[in-house]
């Protein structure tokens, strides 16, 4: 039969101040195996025997539906704290069901042997009991949580995930710092390069105020290089200057002619630059938006970490309160056990007293009969002489 767990689930229970326990039986905290709840049941002074009695118990048996059953292969271990290899282990296979909700060993370990301290089972008056439970079948079926399928000695999932978050976001912080420093250098270098390019583009434009109207028009066009309708305005200026016979030096005429010959290439290059520059700015904007999202995520991580610290403190406080509640509960159970023992003794004393009362009542009846006879004789005597 296939197990509901890859390997048996292990549970450890330490019973402190064992020799001073004044209760008939004790239950451990609940644990889960095969999607089902379990707990250990111990009789410190034995279940009507001179042995420690240990059982595996189904804590929610009274709330389970009619016909429920759980088949399990299990081992109960009393740990030898001096030599693990000398621990006492007993195993069984049982189908737990209504009327048989606990199963184990009434004569697990002789009390005399247990309380011999050199044997290593009681160390500092603490007894350690372990259970290894392998659930084979459950009816009605239950869904086994993934956490319950994990090996019991794995590091808690929450702690592992938290460490993974911290590692990832530490690397993310380094990425943010490196990226911001790199971006600052790019902005500085980019501004310098763009200014140089602009100077080179504009430096070829005429700057003399005495040039004719067409020459001034060209200057305006060149100064307005990145504005709309540049092509038409620049073409008109070049056309006017190419027909001018005065007001231009020979070098200016040659420059205008050379530029006019390459005018279409210049326009094509300029439009390509405009398109690529627009795409560059768009991609840069997209990159900056993504980077902004990364920084925001890191800020959320810091907020989550702060919240986790607050929750950890709250959890510690709850654990402390749970510990206090558990101690009060154990004290209540202990007082309850004492009350039950006292009540049992009182009940026994009542039965004994009842028997004594019956004996005394019989004596009273006999004495009353004798007294009745004596009273008759007394009355007869009195009648004769008084």
- What's the pLDDT score for residue 59? 94
53's CB contacts (< 8 A; 6+ apart) are 42, 43, 46, 47, 104, 105, 106, 107, 108
Report pTM.
0.41
Bigger pLDDT: 262 or 123?
A: 123
- What's the pLDDT score for residue 252? 78
Report residue 244's pLDDT band, with 50, 70 and 90 as the boundaries. low
Bigger pLDDT: 210 or 113?
A: 113
The per-residue pLDDT for range 127-173, each reduced to its tens digit, is 999 999 999 999 887 655 554 444 444 444 455 456 666 767 777 77
Q: Are 33 and 42 in contact (CB under 8 A)?
A: no
Bigger pLDDT: 54 or 227?
A: 54
Q: Are 246 and 272 in contact (CB under 8 A)?
A: no
Report residue 204's pLDDT band, with 50, 70 and 90 as the boundaries. very low
Domain residue spans of the chain: 9-140, 208-303
Q: Could you give the angle at the alpha carbon of 177 between the alpha carbons of 173 and 183, nearest 5°?
A: 140
State mean pLDDT over 335-355: 83
Report residue 351's pLDDT band, with 50, 70 and 90 as the boundaries. confident
Choose the most confident range, by mean pLDDT, from 169-183, 213-227, 274-288.
274-288
Closest CA to 69 of 39, 42, 36: 36
As a three-state string, the secondary structure of the chain is CCCCCCCCEEEEEEECCHHHCCCCCEECCCEEECCEEEEEEEECCCCCCCEEEEEEECCCHHHCCCCCEEEEEEEEEECCCCCHHHCEEEEEEEEEECCECEEEEEEEEEHHHHCCHHHCCCECCEEEEEEEEEEEEEECCCCCCHHHHCCCCCCCHHHHHHHHHHHHHHHHHHHHHHHHHHHHHHHHHHHHHHHHHHHHHHHCCCCCCCCCHHHHHHHHHHHCCCCCCHHHHHHHHHHHHHCCCCCCCHHHHHHHHHHHHCHHHHHHHHHHHHHHHHHHHHHHHHHHHHHHHHHHHHHHHHHHHHHHHHHHHHHHHHHHHHHHHHHHHHHHHHHHHHHHHHHHHHHHHHHHHHHHHHHHHHHHHHHHHHHHHHHHHHHHHHHHHC
Euclidean distance between CA atoms 44 and 127, whole angstroms: 10
State mean pLDDT over 347-352: 85
- What's the pLDDT score for residue 270? 76
Average pLDDT score over the chain: 79
State mean pLDDT over 217-243: 64
Euclidean distance between CA atoms 206 and 222, whole angstroms: 9
Q: Go through 357-382 and write b for each residue having 16 or more CB atoms within 10 A of its CB, e for each that does not.
A: eeeeeeeeeeeeeeeeeeeeeeeeee
| Domain 9-140 -> CATH class | mainly beta
State mean pLDDT over 190-206: 39
The per-residue pLDDT for range 276-318, each reduced to its tens digit, is 888 888 898 888 888 888 888 888 988 888 888 888 888 888 9
Report residue 319's pLDDT band, with 50, 70 and 90 as the boundaries. confident
């Amino acid at each position: 039969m296939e197990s509901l767990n890859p390997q048996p689930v292990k549970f450890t229970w330490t019973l402190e101040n064992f020799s001073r326990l004044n209760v008939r039986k004790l239950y451990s905290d609940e644990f889960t195996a095969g999607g089902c709840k379990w707990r250990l049941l111990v009789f410190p002074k034995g279940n009507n025997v001179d042995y420690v009695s240990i059982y595996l118990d189904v804590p929610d048996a009274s709330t389970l539906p009619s016909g429920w059953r759980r088949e399990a292969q299990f081992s109960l271990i009393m740990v030898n704290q001096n030599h693990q290899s000398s621990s006492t282990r007993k195993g069984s296979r049982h189908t737990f069901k209504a009327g048989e909700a606990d199963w184990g060993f009434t004569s697990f370990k002789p009390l005399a042997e247990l309380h011999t301290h050199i044997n290593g089972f009681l160390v500092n008056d603490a007894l350690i009991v372990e259970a290894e439970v392998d659930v084979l079948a459950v009816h009605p079926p239950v869904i086994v949580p993934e956490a319950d399928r994990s090996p019991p000695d794995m590091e808690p999932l929450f702690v592992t995930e938290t460490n993974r978050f911290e590692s990832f976001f530490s690397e993310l912080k380094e990425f943010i710092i490196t990226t911001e420093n790199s971006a600052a250098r790019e902005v500085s270098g980019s501004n310098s390069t763009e200014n140089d390019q602009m100077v080179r583009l504009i430096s070829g434009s005429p700057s003399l105020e005495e040039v004719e109207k067409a020459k001034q028009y060209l200057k305006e066009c060149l100064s307005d290089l990145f504005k709309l309708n540049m092509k038409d305005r620049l073409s008109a200026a070049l056309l006017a200057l190419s027909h001018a016979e005065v007001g231009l030096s020979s070098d200016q005429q040659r420059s205008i002619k050379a530029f006019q010959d390459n005018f279409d290439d210049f326009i094509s290059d300029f439009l390509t630059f405009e398109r690529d520059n627009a795409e560059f700015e768009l991609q840069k904007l997209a990159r900056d938006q993504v980077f902004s999202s990364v920084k925001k995520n890191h800020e959320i991580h810091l907020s989550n970490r702060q919240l986790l610290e607050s929750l950890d403190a709250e959890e510690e406080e709850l654990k402390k309160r749970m510990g206090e509640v558990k101690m009060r509960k154990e004290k209540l159970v202990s007082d309850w056990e004492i009350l039950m023992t006292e009540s049992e003794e009182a009940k026994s004393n009542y039965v004994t007293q009842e028997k004594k009362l019956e004996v005394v009542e019989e004596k009273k009846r006999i004495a009353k009969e004798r007294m009745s006879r004596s009273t008759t004789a007394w009355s007869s005597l009195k009648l004769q002489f008084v």
